[in-house]
Structure 1
Amino acid sequence: MSGLFVENQGPNWKKILYHAKSAFAVLLSVAVLVGMGWFGYKTVRDAYLDYKSEDDYLSVQGEPVVFTVPQGASVNQIGALLVEEEIIKSEKAWKSAVAKLGAEPTFQAGRYNLNQQMPAAAAAAILSDPNEVIRVMVTIPEGLRMTDQWPLITKAIPEIKQADLEALGKDPKALGLPAWAGNKAEGFLYPETYQVDDTPTAQELLTAQVAQFTKVTTELNFEDRATSLGLTPMQALTIASIAEKEAIGTDMAMVTQVFYNRIAKNMPLQSDATVVYANNIKGRLTTTDEERAVDSPYNTYKYPGIPPGPIGNPGQEALTAALNPTQHDYLYFVVVDPSTGETEFNTTFEGHERSRAKFLAWCQANQGKC
């Protein structure tokens, strides 16, 4: 061929292969270095995790459980129980977690939602928070006598036994009653919705009721207001308890004035609610001649004046009505329609009998409700 032309001899495979080997060597070196780095990191990390998890769990690993902090348990006793129930890994981790909470953390007795195999710090945070205590609600309606409160309480809180409630009802000196209560609980177990931890004692719950009674009556200036009406606090409380059973709403203040008007005229109160209490009648509004003749100081048909104590536990509306009666001259009242609470007031016995006839007609039309 002419010297002016060079023959095309194709790729220089020798050169390409050389560069490929060099690149592979570099990549291999990088891979080795990365692998060694990862291996080293993993080894160090695993060693660190093993060290950290020797005494404690690093995360929540188990199923939910309910843990009980016993009444009066010490911090160390709580830690031992947590380990025993496999909630935390060691008492050492528990003590460390508690120390980090600050000075003198408080662990309230009760039940808490935790997990098995959880970090001690997480358990300590929950157990030191009183808002985390599992709580139950119990509602006590207005007007119930204390013995009718017992079944409601034991149903809502099975841990409280009726025998314990009955014992405190008979001997309530440990409940913090006012001095003028005469060591009697009836009337002082304030009706309210109470939120309590799910393992309270009977004394704790009844003490809370008495405390709420004291709070409400203090706000009402109950003792001084009763005195201004010429009543003892116990008499005013007793009137409130009767009004609670005899009327609703604004009629309570009307009814309390009826009682005060009758007392001023030396007339017996003649409240069927007191006869119901004296005879321990359940589920009935009306009373018989025989029941109204029972020999009981609570029978206001037989004995004039105010009974010796409350016939139930009144709420704030009735307590207020006893202190703030609506001024009028009525001497009689009848709830003519128990379904609505409609009440008629009269100054004469004849008018009272006409109202009573309406009540009896309602009872006739509503068999079994009177």
Structure 2
Amino acid sequence: MNSPAKDSESPVTDLFTAPPRPQADPAFPGPRSVRRAQRRRRRGKRGRSLVVLLVALVLVGGAGYAVWSNLESLTGLTTPLESKDYPGPGGDQVDVEIAEGATGAAMGEALYEAGVVASVSAFTEAFEANPDSVLIRPGTHTMLEEMPARDAVALLVKNATVDLQLTIPEGYTVDQIVERAVQVTGLPAKDFEAALNRPGKIGLPKQAGGNAEGWLYPDTYTVTPDDTAVGLLSQMVERTSGVLKERNVSGADWQTVLTKASLVEREGFHAEDKPKIARAIDNRLEDGMFLEIDAAVAYGAGKPGTELTRADTENPKNRYNTYEHTGLPPGPIANPGEVSIDAVLNPAPGDWKFWVTVNLDTGETKFADDFAEHQTYVQELRDWQAANG
């Protein structure tokens, strides 16, 4: 299990939470990101140079007109106000965020800044010429760099008529799910918040106590233009209920199963470890032991498990503090997937009461029956941390 830090300010190493999945480091962008950043910087420099040039042209008076009339041939500069257009067919993919209620000009500005179109005016003209442009939906659109404006409008329209795919990973919290849903669908966050505040509208059972945590099933959902926040959340709740019914779980046990499964989801890195973690949790509960699960404490404290301090684990006001309160936490701490639910329903046979991830890169987890054996594995983790910074 976990050995807290020696003082209230020093961090507690999360011995339970699985190591985070690798994410791209924004400080070291890939080749395409580098090219896009370079192009944006070049556009910014061209814009600043153009301002200086305009001032110079005004000062030289009539001579300026002659220079301005030949500016394109002399410099090749463009501005977002000119009706410049790319010949196409387009280059690398780039994601562009179309805001809720965006006008054609606002869309054009976003596309211009992303390097998709050569000018705002060219896009606006193409937008106004396409009668289907009113169908364009807010949200994240995958475009191509340096597209003809007409093709950019057509692609936005096509995106609006193609059903979106909303994928919710296992172990996401409600807040993370809402953030992902807003990003993919373009629906306002306030719509999801309003739906969550009316649990009956999304089919949340009474035993959930009005809290959707644990009940939003991680899966891939098809999103149509007519879908609403209430509709999407209802699908997720219904999917969770369906999974429990398929496994013949008694309705009275649904909340307990989801709470345990959420702990297993956040603690287990490998699928084969999850039935062992489920058994260890049951063994500790049967013996009246504190669960001492960092992931639960972190959820209640509203912080990552790697940032916990001894003060956090000693705070009795946190109802999810499994160092201070025996039994299960008051509810799920995340939304578990099928593997974690099955692990709770079919835990592996064994006497384990402790587990610790000893390698945060591979997720290797070791289990122990007694505290002395567990401490040898904790030291193994400490040694790994010392060797890996």
Report the counterpart of residue 233 of structure 1 in structure 2. 254
Comparing both chains, which one has the higher relative contact order based on Cα–Cα distances under 8 Å and sequence gaps of 6 or more?
2
Runs of 4+ displaced beyond 6 Å: none
1:145-184 equivalence runs, <5 A: 145-158=173-186, 160-184=187-211
Match of 1:339 among 321, 342, 361: 361
1:112-261 equivalence runs, <5 A: 133-158=161-186, 160-223=187-250, 232-247=253-268, 248-261=270-283
Query: What's the secondary structure of 2:222's corresponding residue?
Result: strand
Structure 1 runs not aligned, ≥5 long: 1-61, 70-110, 115-131
Query: What's the secondary structure of 2:310's corresponding residue?
Result: coil
The structural deviation recorded for 1:67 is: 6.3
Deviations 1:113-169 (A, max 9, x none): 69xxxxxxxxxxxxxxxxx952111111111110122221111112x1122222333
Match of 2:374 among 325, 344, 352: 352
CA distance in 2, matches of 1:210, 1:365: 44
Match of 1:305 among 314, 327, 344: 327
The structural deviation recorded for 1:337 is: 1.5
1:244-323 equivalence runs, <5 A: 244-247=265-268, 248-282=270-304, 284-285=305-306, 287-294=308-315, 295-323=317-345
CA distance in 2, matches of 1:333, 1:152: 31
CA distance in 2, matches of 1:356, 1:166: 41
Structure 2 runs not aligned, ≥5 long: 1-128, 137-155
Query: What's the secondary structure of 1:290's corresponding residue?
Result: helix
CA distance in 1, matches of 2:298, 2:131: 50
Match of 1:65 among 126, 132, 141: 132
The structural deviation recorded for 1:298 is: 0.9
The verdict on how the C-alpha distance between 1:192 and 1:135 changes in structure 2, with shifts beyond 3 A counting, is same
Query: Which structure's CA Rg is the greater one?
Result: 1
CA distance in 2, matches of 1:241, 1:292: 19
- Contact 2:244–2:254 (Cα < 8 Å) also in 1: no
Q: TM-score, normalized by length of structure 2?
A: 0.57
Share of identical aligned residues, percent?
32
- Contact 1:187–1:310 (Cα < 8 Å) also in 2: yes
Q: TM-score, normalized by length of structure 1?
A: 0.60
